[in-house]
């Protein structure tokens, strides 16, 4: 494996890539524990996939913005290291698959030449910051949220407070009260507002999907924009200390809020205020890069299929607030497109628009700043690429995760059934091509990467067992979810479970009933009126598994008989390490704290020292087979098991020593003394462990 020391201009990025290269080598040599290595590579966007020996690489694109040059660089990387297929995710990232682990440092180094990162795209970190794809051009927006989303991304990238949490942490920004950033399903959701001339946000806290979806609480009806980063740091600090770590199923923010309640959470936020390095953090939106729109000559175009063109215009051309310009939506089937088309698209927007694209939460592409008189030309050029299918963000536009194609956790095919449902809608329900009131989403398992439980009509991959103990692919049908705007939404109800091959028939029954009886209501309003049992009654006939045919045992998009194969999930699973490994990590954190101290980064140094002390305590508790579910419980249990019993002496108690963290302002004096405390804790606990081993 080659070194990249001379290829990366940014020394921080260079260090990251060299560290990944080093850890891969140590892992291959058996010097790094597999679980610890998994944690490190996940935090660098390297994710194991269903197929052995290869990796999925998640490319982090804050709020879905990608420049033409960045897209060209991603294409180069995909062609060289992957298969040339690009997959847009529901978090506005791009994923590529089938990458050799040993080549990932080189891949990352290539991406960084155009300021594209893999850092914290996966793992127990602050994930990609998402936003409305129309941010900056939205007719209804009070202001452009892009500079604020970008500031949050930059502030928390590599920030030690968000590197090793119990689980992932997701943030969104919505351009307007339409809440197209889906604030109500995020750990933190921000909706743009202006009050008394001040820019700010409505703040939603602790939403989530998965097997137990939770609607976010309103934390603030209005928070000035210079408070959002200090608030988010407080929230993450509380989550890091009190959030579950042992049980992955309970390790999200939503479970912490459910357990302690909003008022108790607010009290914990207050306790962190002193430790946060910035009490206000003004975001200079004026310095955000200005749009540079190309000024080409308007080509002469003659549209051949005028009916198709007019239909496309009615669904895929979006007005924007800048006079004389529109945005063009590209419906990307299942979020998958290839580098040959991506390159041509990049050149098109570079020469005829603003040189940028937005990836959407529905796995599509939006081209902003297209001159109105250039729309026919764009249609002509996009048609050559196969990118003029009507139905952008309409019922025909189905969202789906990769499912059993590449994901370890996939139970049933998402992409196969999605393609079939789109075929059914086109052939049998053409009016839905222009219908925005029916949103269909599909996930291959309960983790909801396809966001099925917030859709009007959702499908979740499952399996079903016959009386003869044969296993067939199945779909849980969910109905009635919806986004109601301004932080309000409804999660879908589970109605029935049907064999996968009956998914299209389930959709037909639902749409036929809606067309016959909906009487102009939106689908979610119609569902709310009729209720769960109404739909169960006419879908129940599809649940019978006594009459399955051979075809029912073959999943959509497959030719072989179905096997339920679920691997080990890598969606930020919690790590159980050996005691020696934990002590080794504590020393690494002390080294990080010392380096941050030299650089004048007092808050970062303090947090690394804190992590070292908690990690050292965790090591001894692990040796005692004591639960280490949260940082808070580790601190308390260490006092109870080791200090109160006089096994280890800490004058004033271990808790008081460690929790100096949130009682002191982050300055040089405290950072130095706290680092010395961390060194002494590690030395004392390692000495205790060594003595125990000698006496054993």
Query: Which fold would CATH assign to domain 306-384?
Result: Alpha-Beta Plaits (3.30.70)
144 vs 30, more confident: 144
Query: Would you say residue 691 has pLDDT above 90?
Result: no
Comparing 99-113, 240-254, 522-536, which segment has the lowest mean pLDDT?
A: 240-254
Comparing 21-35, 311-325, 624-638, which segment has the lowest mean pLDDT?
A: 21-35
Q: Where are the beta strands (DSSP E) in 277-398?
A: 317-319, 325-330, 336-338, 356-359, 365-371
Label residue 52 exposed, middle or buried (CB < 10 Å: 0-12, 13-18, 19+): exposed
Domain 130-287's class? alpha beta
CATH code 3.30.70.3340 region(s) in the chain? 306-384
Band (1; pLDDT cuts 50, 70, 90): very low
Residue 504: partners with Cβ closer than 8 Å, 6 or more residues away = 420, 421, 424
Element housing 238 (H / E):
helix 228-242
Percent of the chain residues topping a pLDDT of 90: 70
* DSSP calls for 513-543: HHHHH-TT--HHHHHHHH-HHHHHHHHGGGG
Mean pLDDT for 285-291 is 94
Residue 81: partners with Cβ closer than 8 Å, 6 or more residues away = 57, 96, 99, 100, 103, 106, 107
CATH code 1.20.120.330 region(s) in the chain? 579-695
Percent of the chain residues topping a pLDDT of 70: 95
pLDDT recorded at residue 694: 76
Q: Which residue has the tokens 């893999």?
A: 118
HEC secondary structure over 274-298 = CCCCCCCCCCCHHHCCCCCCCCCCC
CATH code 3.30.413.10 region(s) in the chain? 130-287, 399-553
Mean pLDDT for 601-610 is 96
Mean pLDDT for 29-58 is 82
Q: Is 399-553 a CATH 3.40.50.150 domain?
A: no
Architecture of domain 579-695: Up-down Bundle (1.20)
Comparing 24-38, 188-202, 318-332, 448-462, which segment has the lowest mean pLDDT?
A: 24-38
Measure the CA–CA gap between 66 and 511, rounded to whole angstroms. Answer: 37
From the list 252, 2, 219, 242, the residue with the least C-alpha distance to 103 is 2
Query: Which fold would CATH assign to domain 11-112?
Result: Sulfite Reductase Hemoprotein; domain 2 (3.90.480)
Mean pLDDT for 492-497 is 94
Cα–Cα–Cα angle for 180, 182, 184, rounded to 5 degrees: 145
Query: Would you say residue 670 has pLDDT above 90?
Result: yes
Most confident listed range (447-456, 541-550, 576-585, 589-598): 589-598
Measure the CA–CA gap between 603 and 23, rounded to whole angstroms. Answer: 27
Q: How far is CA 346 from CA 19, 67, 357, in A?
A: 32, 8, 8
Element housing 255 (H / E):
helix 253-260
Please give the backbone phi and psi of residue 167, each rounded to the nearest 5 degrees, phi first.
Answer: -150, -175
CATH code 3.90.480.20 region(s) in the chain? 11-112
- Whole-prediction pTM: 0.90
At 658-667, the pLDDT tens digits run 999 999 999 9
Query: Would you say residue 251 has pLDDT above 70?
Result: yes
At 78-131, the pLDDT tens digits run 999 999 999 999 999 999 999 999 999 999 999 999 999 999 998 889 999 999
- Residue 110 is given by DSSP the state H
């Amino acid at each position: 494996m080659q070194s990249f020391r001379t290829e990366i201009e940014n020394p921080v990025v260079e260090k990251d890539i060299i560290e990944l290269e080093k850890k891969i080598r140590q892992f291959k040599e058996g010097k790094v524990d597999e679980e610890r290595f998994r944690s490190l590579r996940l935090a660098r966007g390297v994710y194991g996939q269903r197929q052995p020996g290869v990796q999925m690489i998640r490319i982090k694109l804050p709020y879905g913005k990608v420049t033409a040059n960045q897209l060209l660089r991603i294409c180069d990387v995909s062609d060289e290291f992957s298969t040339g297929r690009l997959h847009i995710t529901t978090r506005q990232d791009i994923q590529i698959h089938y990458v050799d682990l040993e080549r990932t440092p080189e891949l990352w180094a290539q991406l960084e030449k155009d300021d594209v990162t893999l850092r914290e795209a996966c793992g127990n970190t602050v994930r990609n910051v998402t936003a409305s794809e129309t941010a900056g051009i939205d007719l209804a927006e009070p202001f452009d949220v892009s500079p604020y989303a970008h500031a949050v991304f930059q502030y928390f990238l590599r920030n030690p407070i968000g590197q090793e949490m119990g689980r992932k942490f997701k943030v969104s920004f919505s351009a307007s009260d339409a809440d197209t950033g889906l604030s109500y399903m995020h750990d933190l959701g921000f909706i743009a507002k202006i009050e008394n001339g001040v820019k700010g946000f409505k703040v939603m806290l602790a939403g989530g999907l998965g097997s137990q979806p939770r609607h976010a609480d309103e934390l603030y009806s209005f928070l000035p924009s210079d408070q959002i980063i200090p608030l988010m740091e407080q929230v993450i600090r509380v989550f890091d200390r009190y959030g579950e770590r042992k049980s992955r199923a309970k390790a999200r923010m939503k479970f912490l809020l459910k357990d302690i309640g909003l008022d108790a959470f607010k009290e914990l936020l207050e306790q962190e205020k002193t430790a946060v390095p910035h009490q206000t953090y003004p975001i200079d939106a004026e310095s955000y890069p200005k749009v540079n729109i190309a000024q080409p000559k308007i080509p002469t175009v003659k549209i051949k299929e005028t009916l198709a063109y007019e239909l496309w215009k009615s669904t895929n051309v979006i007005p924007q607030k800048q006079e004389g310009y529109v945005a063009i939506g590209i419906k990307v089937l299942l979020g998958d497109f290839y580098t040959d088309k991506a390159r041509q698209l990049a050149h098109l927007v570079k020469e005829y628009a603003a040189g940028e694209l937005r990836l959407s939460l529905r796995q599509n592409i939006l081209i902003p700043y297209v001159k109105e008189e250039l729309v026919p030309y764009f249609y002509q050029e996009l048609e050559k690429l196969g990118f003029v299918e009507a139905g952008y963000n309409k019922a025909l536009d189905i969202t789906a995760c990769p499912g059993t194609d590449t994901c370890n956790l996939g139970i049933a095919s998402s992409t196969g059934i999605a393609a079939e449902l789109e075929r059914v809608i086109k052939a049998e329900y053409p009016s839905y091509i222009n219908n925005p009131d029916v949103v269909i989403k599909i996930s291959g398992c309960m983790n909801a990467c396809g966001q099925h439980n917030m859709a009007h009509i959702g499908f979740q991959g499952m399996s079903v067992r016959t009386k003869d103990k044969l296993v067939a692919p199945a779909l849980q049908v969910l109905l009635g979810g919806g986004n109601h705007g301004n932080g309000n939404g409804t999660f879908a109800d589970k109605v029935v479970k049907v064999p996968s091959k009956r998914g299209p028939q389930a959709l037909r029954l639902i749409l036929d009933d809606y067309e016959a009886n909906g009487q102009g209501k939106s689908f979610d309003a119609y569902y709310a009126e009729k209720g769960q049992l109404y739909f169960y009654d006419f879908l129940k006939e599809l649940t019978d598994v006594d009459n399955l045919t051979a075809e029912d045992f073959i999943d959509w998009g497959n030719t072989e008989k179905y096997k339920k194969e679920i691997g080990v999930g890598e969606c930020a699973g919690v790590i159980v390490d050996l005691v020696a490994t934990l002590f080794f990590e504590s020393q690494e954190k002390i080294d990080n704290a010392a380096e941050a101290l030299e650089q004048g980064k007092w808050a970062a140094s303090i947090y690394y020292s804190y992590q070292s002390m908690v990690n050292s305590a965790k090591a001894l508790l692990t040796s005692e087979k004591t639960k280490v579910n949260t940082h808070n419980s580790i601190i308390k249990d260490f006092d109870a098991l080791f200090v109160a019993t006089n096994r280890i002496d800490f004058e004033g108690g271990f808790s008081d020593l460690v929790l100096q963290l949130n009682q002191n302002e982050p300055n040089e004096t405290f950072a130095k003394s706290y680092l010395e405390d961390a060194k002494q804790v590690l030395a004392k606990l390692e000495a205790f462990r060594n003595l125990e081993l000698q006496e054993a």
